[in-house]
Amino acid sequence: MRDCVAVEEAWRGLRNAQTEAIQTSLLASGITTLQVAGILASVPAITVYDCKNTRSLPGSPVSNPVRSTDITAKRAFDTTRGVVDFYRQCFDRNSVDDAGMTLMSSIHYGVRYDNAFWNGAQMTYGDGDGQIFLDFTKADDVIGHELTHGVTQFTAGLDYSDEPGALNESVSDVFGAMFYQWRRKQTVAQADWLIGADLMGPAARTKGYACLRDMAQPGSRHCLSPQPSHYRDYIPGGDPHENSGIPNHAFYLAAKAIGGRSWEQAGKVWYAALTSPKAYRLMTMAEFAALTRAAAGSLFTNDINVYRGVDDAWTRVGIPSDDISV
């Protein structure tokens, strides 16, 4: 039995290595279309590694995470698979690179580590300190957020400072929130629009903090990390997680104005902007807003309410349509 497990692990490692090698070769050849790459990996492989409270990445492979007795391993696997399904079903995207890239997650990173991050190749999750933050795999929106950093890396490639940095963080919050709502089949009216609510530990709850961020009320006192919601309050040189409140609020306003389910119209507009050939590394908020306005007009030609909702949302956060055009 032990030998079988060892062989299966070795085989799985070889298969993933081969997939990645083929992916690299295709990318090097400029062949990145879903149709071609989809032949190789129509559903991306999902792998989970256990750091065992060290900071050594990726850690030890978890051989069968879907049946693991470690709830963190199972959750990382299941939720990552959920994000894969979300992107495939809602946006026709095959993994973060749209070419079936294997999605690797490392869990139990560090000791009481209060963070989750994307390192350019994989996701990493800490257990939280148990007081301010709980296990970071508990929150669907966190896992959706981290994987979306991968999507951004392979599309607009947004920088990580100033306005592009704020957009980078906002896009992750927007798609993380949409994934959370999609999993629960929530309408925009039913959604709470909170980011990181499932992470809040007892010390944070006792002090009245319900979430990290709130896309509906970015400056609310129930946010552990309150943010500006209007461009006049943009913080020069601020952390990307601060200024992301402005485009976060724009998405919330647009989705609420359009109605229905966020991923069906507002989400498609945001995705079209993110993946537009005109999107680029140093994009400003006004340029991104212009791309969403253009996408709203072209994707929903028979429903002027989508364009109006998007246009009005950006205007209300201080980025009117006369700022820039595409």
Partner 1 sequence: MKDQARYFIERRGGFAGLKASGSIDGDALDPDDRQLLETLLESTEPLAADPGADRYTYVVTRKNALGSTTREIPESVMPPTVASVVTTEI
Q: Which residues bind partner 1 (CB under 8 A)?
A: 55, 110, 114-121, 132-133, 136, 142, 145-146, 149, 152-153, 160, 168-169, 172, 196, 203-204, 207, 209, 212, 224-225, 239-242
Annotated catalytic residue 241? yes
Q: What is the largest CA-CA distance in the chain?
A: 68
Distance (Å, whole) CA 165 – CA 273: 16
The answer to whether the beta carbons of residues 271 and 88 sit under 8 Å apart is: no
Which is nearer to partner 1, 114 or 323 (by Cβ)?
A: 114
Least distance (Å) between residue 200 CB and partner 1: 10
The residues near 61 (Cβ < 8 Å, ≥ 6 apart) are: 9, 12, 13, 47, 48, 49, 50
Which is nearer to partner 1, 145 or 293 (by Cβ)?
A: 145
Annotated catalytic residue 146? yes
The answer to whether the beta carbons of residues 304 and 182 sit under 8 Å apart is: no
Structure tokens at 137: 């795999």
SS3 sequence of 209-252: CCECEECCCCCCCCECCCCCCCHHHCCCCCCHHHHCHHHHHHHH
The count of C-alpha atoms lying within 13 angstroms of the C-alpha of 79, restricted to the half-sphere facing its C-beta, is: 26
Which is nearer to partner 1, 83 or 142 (by Cβ)?
A: 142
- Cα 152 from chain centroid (whole Å): 9
Which is nearer to partner 1, 90 or 204 (by Cβ)?
A: 204
Which is nearer to partner 1, 211 or 294 (by Cβ)?
A: 211
Least distance (Å) between residue 241 CB and partner 1: 3
Which is nearer to partner 1, 15 or 55 (by Cβ)?
A: 55
Distance (Å, whole) CA 306 – CA 152: 23
Least distance (Å) between residue 282 CB and partner 1: 16
**Could you give the residue ranges of the DSSP H alpha helices within 232-303?**
240-243, 245-258, 266-274, 285-299
Least distance (Å) between residue 136 CB and partner 1: 7
Active-site residue among 108, 145, 146, 249? Answer: 146
Burial class for 281, CB neighbours closer than 10 Å (0-12, 13-18, 19+): exposed
Least distance (Å) between residue 120 CB and partner 1: 4
DSSP label at residue 137: G
Least distance (Å) between residue 150 CB and partner 1: 9
Active-site residue among 108, 145, 149, 241? Answer: 241
Active site residues: 146, 241
